[in-house]
Amino acid sequence: MAVGAGDRVVGWKAGCGCGWRSSRTYDRDRFPSVSGVAPAEVEGSATGTGAFSEWRFHLFAAVPELVVADTVNVVLRSAPNRLTNPLLAAVVAVAREHGATWPLLADAAGVTLREAKWAWAPPRVDPVQAVRRRRAGHRRAAHGAAPAHRRRDGPAAGSGPAIAPAR
């Protein structure tokens, strides 16, 4: 906002075009300015602090997929495979908690919707199958057989790669 010749500036607040205003006021007494323009330490875009950091926090809360786009474009610019990057997976999980949809996240990360869901969606668990597996494990244990995940002779058939013990 432009400062006119007759305007008296007493301080500054961060704001957004959506109508949001910061609760913090940067008083001119504490941050002096001869021209009435916010000093660099208040404005903060060069350092990522001040009013800029407050606005950015608001923006990421209002549009959570922007955090994903920033992570991809700034932090992981030269990373070989975004889909398996744990940092991006964590950022996507937080963005999902804040309401970002899969199509928006996929677009922000520069991947397809299918790739995004494959890489970052939590695995689906069928509750009926989970109960059946648990019961089957208890039946084996009750009859003296160890459940497949506790056997020393290797995994049960079809439960993953068989790894032979080193001798």
Tell me how far CA of residue 16 lies from CA of 20, 112, 116, in angstroms.
5, 31, 30
- 36 phi-psi bin (left φ>0, alpha ψ -120 to 50, beta other): left
Q: Which pLDDT score is estimated for 154?
A: 46
Q: Which pLDDT score is estimated for 32?
A: 85
Question: 132 exposed, middle or buried (CB, 10 Å; 0-12, 13-18, 19+)?
Answer: exposed
Q: Which pLDDT score is estimated for 115?
A: 93
Q: Which pLDDT score is estimated for 3?
A: 53
Q: Which pLDDT score is estimated for 18?
A: 85
Residues of the chain with pLDDT under 50: 6, 150-164, 167
The model's pTM is: 0.53
Q: Which pLDDT score is estimated for 79?
A: 73
Domain ranges of the chain: 11-60, 64-120
- Distance CA(101)–CA(109), nearest Å, equals 12
- Distance CA(66)–CA(104), nearest Å, equals 9
